[in-house]
Amino acid sequence: MRRRTLLTMGGCLTARRIDEGTSCMYLAGKKIVIIGGSSGIGFAVARQAVAAGAHVVVASSNQDRVDAATKRLGEPAEGRRLDVADGDAIAAFFEQTGEFDHLVYTAGESLLIKPLADTTPREARTVFERRFWGAFLSAKYAAPRLRDGGSITFSSGVLATRPLSGTALTAGITGGIEALSRALAVELAPLRVNVIQPGVIRTELWDGSVPDPEAFLRDAGSELLTRRVGTAEEAAAAYLFVVANAYVTGTTLAVDGGAALV
């Protein structure tokens, strides 16, 4: 009888046929670029990918955070500064990166929670530039450099399906990212394109988004089916699942503690 062993590598579940020496959902030796990988969910993705044996390139707009992240990750991680609001910088970044296997896009500033009437055009454009336009251009310049079997994984958010008052801009952008992903999955096939839709995850993102982050996270968690908010590590495991599973594309995977049901 053929024996199979399940291995957990940094949150990535790998099924390996011991007698054949083959594996699926395999990340070891792969080169993964994580834009937004210096903090929060992106850093958790990088940490788990390194634990799975991947070579990781983390990119962020803040050089100090990039340096700190690569130091924490250790070998074989590398880091580079990238302003995702600068289209020319994105093009140059991928030209310098060369060929690689997977792109994960988690970049984004603090969420803009503000009534439509009070949101200025400049504020709206700034958020759009980083969260949608940066993702679009990253896909554009990354796609020609992705190796066979490669993938792109975007980030949206639960507001795409469960918007709250004051979140029209963020809900619109995250919903747009999900539509973009489906369209690119068709256009770029067999390259795979997916989206992770996090719910409320405990990261530093909330520090600049709400007045009292701890109270917000506590209250938000009490309303979920899980009775708590998620962790960056739990969200990261979902990213690595779609990165590693060669049969998943055009999918939006929610990691939201049951937010869609309450």
- pLDDT tens per residue, range 123-153: 999 999 989 999 999 999 999 999 999 999 9
Q: Is 156 a catalytic residue?
A: yes
* DSSP strand pairing (55-60 vs 31-35): parallel
Question: Counting every residue, how long is the chain?
Answer: 262
* DSSP strand pairing (12-17 vs 4-9): antiparallel
**Chain segment 209-219, per-residue pLDDT in tens:** 677 888 888 99
In this structure, how many other beta carbons lie within 10 angstroms of the beta carbon of residue 1?
4
Query: What CA–CA distance (Å, rounded) separates 71 from 76?
Result: 10
Q: Three-class SS of residue 7?
A: strand
**Chain segment 53-105, per-residue pLDDT in tens:** 999 999 999 999 999 999 999 988 999 999 999 999 999 999 999 999 999 99
The structure tokens listed for 127 are 């958020």
Query: What CA–CA distance (Å, rounded) separates 119 from 112?
Result: 9
The structure tokens listed for 57 are 């390139």
The structure tokens listed for 1 are 């009888």
Q: Which of 38, 156, 165, 209 is catalytic?
A: 156
Contact between residue 158 and residue 171 where contact means Cβ atoms under 8 Å apart: no
List Cα–Cα distances, 203 to 28, 33, 39, 166, 207, in angstroms. Answer: 27, 20, 8, 21, 8
pTM: 0.88
Query: What CA–CA distance (Å, rounded) separates 216 from 115?
Result: 18
